[in-house]
Protein backbone atom coordinates (compact mmCIF):
# COMPACT_ATOMS: atom_id res chain seq x y z
CA UNK A 1 0.00 0.00 0.00
CA UNK A 2 1.43 3.37 -0.98
CA UNK A 3 1.21 6.48 1.14
CA UNK A 4 -1.53 7.83 -1.13
CA UNK A 5 -3.67 4.73 -0.57
CA UNK A 6 -3.52 4.81 3.25
CA UNK A 7 -6.73 5.90 4.86
CA UNK A 8 -6.49 8.75 7.32
CA UNK A 9 -9.69 8.54 9.33
CA UNK A 10 -8.91 11.53 11.52
CA UNK A 11 -8.18 13.74 8.53
CA UNK A 12 -11.24 12.43 6.70
CA UNK A 13 -13.40 13.14 9.74
CA UNK A 14 -12.03 16.68 10.05
CA UNK A 15 -12.68 17.30 6.34
CA UNK A 16 -16.26 16.03 6.78
CA UNK A 17 -16.81 18.23 9.84
CA UNK A 18 -15.44 21.26 8.02
CA UNK A 19 -17.63 20.48 5.00
CA UNK A 20 -20.72 20.25 7.22
CA UNK A 21 -19.76 23.55 8.88
CA UNK A 22 -19.43 25.26 5.49
CA UNK A 23 -22.78 23.87 4.36
CA UNK A 24 -24.40 25.13 7.56
CA UNK A 25 -22.88 28.59 7.04
CA UNK A 26 -24.34 28.66 3.50
CA UNK A 27 -27.75 27.71 4.88
CA UNK A 28 -27.56 30.51 7.43
CA UNK A 29 -26.58 32.99 4.71
CA UNK A 30 -29.49 31.83 2.54
CA UNK A 31 -31.83 32.25 5.48
CA UNK A 32 -30.61 35.82 6.04
CA UNK A 33 -31.16 36.61 2.37
CA UNK A 34 -34.89 35.79 2.61
CA UNK A 35 -37.07 38.79 3.19
CA UNK A 36 -39.09 38.85 6.38
CA UNK A 37 -42.37 38.05 4.62
CA UNK A 38 -41.02 34.92 2.91
CA UNK A 39 -39.29 33.77 6.07
CA UNK A 40 -42.45 34.39 8.08
CA UNK A 41 -44.48 32.41 5.54
CA UNK A 42 -42.08 29.45 5.79
CA UNK A 43 -42.31 29.60 9.58
CA UNK A 44 -46.09 29.79 9.39
CA UNK A 45 -46.21 26.80 7.03
CA UNK A 46 -44.20 24.88 9.62
CA UNK A 47 -46.54 26.13 12.36
CA UNK A 48 -43.88 27.92 14.34
CA UNK A 49 -42.75 31.45 14.96
CA UNK A 50 -40.05 33.09 12.87
CA UNK A 51 -37.86 33.27 15.97
CA UNK A 52 -38.24 29.53 16.59
CA UNK A 53 -37.44 28.73 12.97
CA UNK A 54 -34.36 30.93 13.04
CA UNK A 55 -33.18 29.29 16.27
CA UNK A 56 -33.68 25.83 14.76
CA UNK A 57 -31.72 26.69 11.63
CA UNK A 58 -28.89 28.02 13.78
CA UNK A 59 -28.71 24.69 15.65
CA UNK A 60 -27.81 22.86 12.45
CA UNK A 61 -29.01 19.68 10.79
CA UNK A 62 -27.88 17.31 13.55
CA UNK A 63 -29.43 19.16 16.47
CA UNK A 64 -32.02 16.46 17.16
CA UNK A 65 -29.86 13.41 16.49
CA UNK A 66 -30.34 12.26 20.08
CA UNK A 67 -34.10 11.85 19.77
CA UNK A 68 -34.21 8.60 17.75
CA UNK A 69 -31.54 7.16 20.02
CA UNK A 70 -33.48 8.16 23.12
CA UNK A 71 -36.70 6.72 21.74
CA UNK A 72 -34.90 3.47 20.95
CA UNK A 73 -33.40 3.36 24.46
CA UNK A 74 -36.92 3.70 25.82
CA UNK A 75 -38.29 0.96 23.59
CA UNK A 76 -40.28 3.34 21.39
CA UNK A 77 -40.34 2.64 17.67
CA UNK A 78 -39.35 5.90 15.95
CA UNK A 79 -40.82 4.81 12.60
CA UNK A 80 -44.12 3.78 14.17
CA UNK A 81 -44.30 7.10 15.98
CA UNK A 82 -43.62 8.93 12.70
CA UNK A 83 -46.57 7.06 11.15
CA UNK A 84 -49.04 7.40 14.00
CA UNK A 85 -48.11 10.77 15.54
CA UNK A 86 -46.13 12.79 12.95
CA UNK A 87 -46.94 16.18 14.46
CA UNK A 88 -46.02 15.02 17.95
CA UNK A 89 -42.72 13.67 16.62
CA UNK A 90 -41.99 16.93 14.81
CA UNK A 91 -42.59 18.88 18.00
CA UNK A 92 -40.36 16.47 19.92
CA UNK A 93 -37.61 17.04 17.31
CA UNK A 94 -37.96 20.80 17.79
CA UNK A 95 -37.72 20.44 21.56
CA UNK A 96 -34.72 18.13 21.25
CA UNK A 97 -32.96 20.48 18.83
CA UNK A 98 -33.25 23.35 21.30
CA UNK A 99 -32.25 21.28 24.35
CA UNK A 100 -29.53 22.57 26.67
CA UNK A 101 -28.83 19.13 28.18
CA UNK A 102 -27.13 17.49 25.17
CA UNK A 103 -24.02 16.40 27.10
CA UNK A 104 -26.03 14.64 29.79
CA UNK A 105 -28.22 13.00 27.18
CA UNK A 106 -25.23 11.86 25.09
CA UNK A 107 -23.51 10.47 28.20
CA UNK A 108 -26.59 8.55 29.28
CA UNK A 109 -27.18 7.21 25.78
CA UNK A 110 -23.57 6.07 25.51
CA UNK A 111 -23.64 4.48 28.97
CA UNK A 112 -26.97 2.79 28.37
CA UNK A 113 -28.55 4.60 31.33
CA UNK A 114 -30.84 6.96 29.42
CA UNK A 115 -34.02 5.07 30.31
CA UNK A 116 -33.25 5.43 34.01
CA UNK A 117 -32.36 9.14 33.94
CA UNK A 118 -34.06 10.91 31.01
CA UNK A 119 -36.91 12.25 33.17
CA UNK A 120 -34.35 14.25 35.19
CA UNK A 121 -33.37 16.48 32.26
CA UNK A 122 -35.25 15.68 29.03
CA UNK A 123 -37.76 18.36 28.06
CA UNK A 124 -39.54 15.69 26.01
CA UNK A 125 -40.08 13.47 29.07
CA UNK A 126 -43.72 14.51 29.62
CA UNK A 127 -44.53 13.87 25.96
CA UNK A 128 -42.69 10.53 25.99
CA UNK A 129 -44.46 9.49 29.16
CA UNK A 130 -47.79 10.54 27.66
CA UNK A 131 -47.32 8.41 24.55
CA UNK A 132 -47.96 5.19 26.38
CA UNK A 133 -48.74 2.15 24.24
CA UNK A 134 -49.56 4.30 21.16
CA UNK A 135 -45.84 4.75 20.50
CA UNK A 136 -45.24 1.22 19.23
CA UNK A 137 -48.35 0.69 17.11
Note the pTM of the prediction, 2 decimals: 0.66
pLDDT for residue 1 = 47
Residues 10-48 pLDDT 10s: 777 777 777 777 777 787 777 777 787 887 888 888 777
Give the N- to C-terminal CA distance of the chain in Å, as an integer: 51
Q: Do 44 and 20 belong to one domain?
A: yes
Backbone phi and psi for residue 13, each to the nearest 5 degrees, phi listed first = -65, -40
Same domain? 84 vs 115: yes
Residue 4 structural domain: 1-62
pLDDT score at 134: 47
Question: 55 with 116, same domain?
Answer: no
Contact 86, 130 (CB under 8 A): no
32 and 87 co-located in one domain: no
Angle between helices 50-59 and 36-45 (to 10 degrees): 90
Alpha-carbon gap, residue 67 to 92, rounded angstroms: 8
Distance from C-alpha of 64 to C-alpha of 56, rounded to nearest angstrom:
10
Query: In 1-137, which ranges are continuous DSSP H helix?
Result: 9-33, 36-45, 50-59, 66-73, 78-84, 86-97, 102-111, 114-117, 125-131
119 and 56 belong to one structural domain: no
Would you state the pLDDT for residue 5? 59
Same domain flag for 57 and 111: no
CB 68 within 8 A of CB 27: no
State whether 77 and 115 are in the same domain: yes
Number of domains forming the structure of the chain: 2
Query: What sign does the CA torsion over 50, 61, 34, 46 have?
Result: negative
List pLDDT tens digits, range 64-73: 999 999 999 9
Amino acid sequence: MTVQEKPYPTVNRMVDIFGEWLKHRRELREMRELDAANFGQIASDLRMSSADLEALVRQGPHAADELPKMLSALGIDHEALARTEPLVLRDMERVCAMCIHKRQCDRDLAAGTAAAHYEDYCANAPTIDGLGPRANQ
